[in-house]
Amino acid sequence: MTTDFEDIRPYNEDEIPAAIHRLADSEVIPAIAAFLMPDQPVETLRERIRNIHNVKEFQLGLLKEIAEILLQKTTTRFDWSGLENIEEKKPYLFVSNHRDIVLDALFLQYILNEDGQNTCQITFGSNLMSHPFVVDFGKINKMFRIERGGTPKGFYNSLLHVSEYIRYVITEVHESVWIAQRNGRTKDGLDATDPALIKMFGMSRRDDRVAALAELNIVPVAVSYEWESCDKLKTLELYLTRKNGHYEKQPNEDLNSILTGIKQPKGHVHIHICPVVSQADLNALDDCPSGEFHKRVARLIDSRINPNFCLHANNFIAYDLLNHTSTFADRYTPGQKAAFMEYMGWMDDYPYMDRAVLEEIFLGIYANPVARQDNFSPKNT
């Protein structure tokens, strides 16, 4: 790989052995082993990791096994649709709504692998690379770094750098790339593509804005969880942000979010791969100033992701509870509603917080996808 991207790229093959042994020796392994293989000694997982020699063995061996254990332990159903929208061996830029730090991309990787296609490289925010285990795990798993924050000039340069790397991976390495539709996970249930992301894609080729995006083969991806990943943690973060005007993360909070998302029950998980954003699609949006063009492309991506978000009983229950209506009472049973309200009892552990505000925030996480589909034809389950 070119040395131009040494600061952000995944590990090269010759860096894998040392990283594998660091993973195997990590103090995080006992907690992971206790969840994944509770009936086996910790050393079993450590030895399983030590026997990995390259990225292919890591992804198609260990990670595939882990994904299948997670699906068995934490989901009631896992399915996908839309593979007919992509061609085998063709590289794409998968632009996904983002609900879970690790699993959104991991599950897409699993689907691509099951379909016999190459796995993709994955963007990973620098703010998440605070723990050595996460760094090694990510860079073995073809994750590359995106800088968060910094001075305006530094931030601009880092965006340009990432834009150049994405174009290099797709057009020269011929590998696909996964990226979230905006900075960070969706915490309020409102999935929306950031126009700044579209602008970033085009920074590495300025001669023709339509061609710059068309050659990236942008494919929107809709990820849906019946039980929202880290829903309690997201509620608390939004509550404290609203109360204090900001939110300050605690040490190892990102690692805790990763582990919580992995272990939390998810119910039904569905992933839909939407049609590619074609040259014709982009040409139809090319009659406007630059800023408006980026907004139109972002909204085009949203118009494919949002109607393919699977709405579950939880979403309709939350909508009716939040709005004090029975609009969607035919979409769930009294038992499902009772179970959802019982689940909300976790708020009893926070008596010092305003219960009404907590409920409003929590219900919004589940209800907002219903509101987002007002102008679409919902795909319900």
Question: How large is the average pLDDT for residues 272-296?
Answer: 96
- Mean pLDDT confidence for 90-113: 95
Q: What is the mean pLDDT of residues 51-69?
A: 93
Domain boundaries, the chain: 3-308, 314-380
How does residue 297 score in pLDDT terms, banded at 50, 70 and 90? very high
Q: What are phi and psi of 23, to 5 degrees?
A: -60, -50
* The pLDDT of residue 253: 83
* Tens of pLDDT, residues 191-200: 999 999 999 9
Entry pTM: 0.93
Is residue 162 within 8 A of residue 219, CB to CB? The reply is no
Using the structure block, give the residue that is written with the tokens 């389950």.
381
**Alpha-carbon torsion angle 245, 250, 256, 258, nearest 10:** 60
CATH (residue range 3-308): 3.40.1130
Contacts of 2 (CB under 8 A, 6+ apart): 168
pLDDT at 371 over 60: yes
pLDDT band with cut points at 50, 70 and 90 for residue 374: low
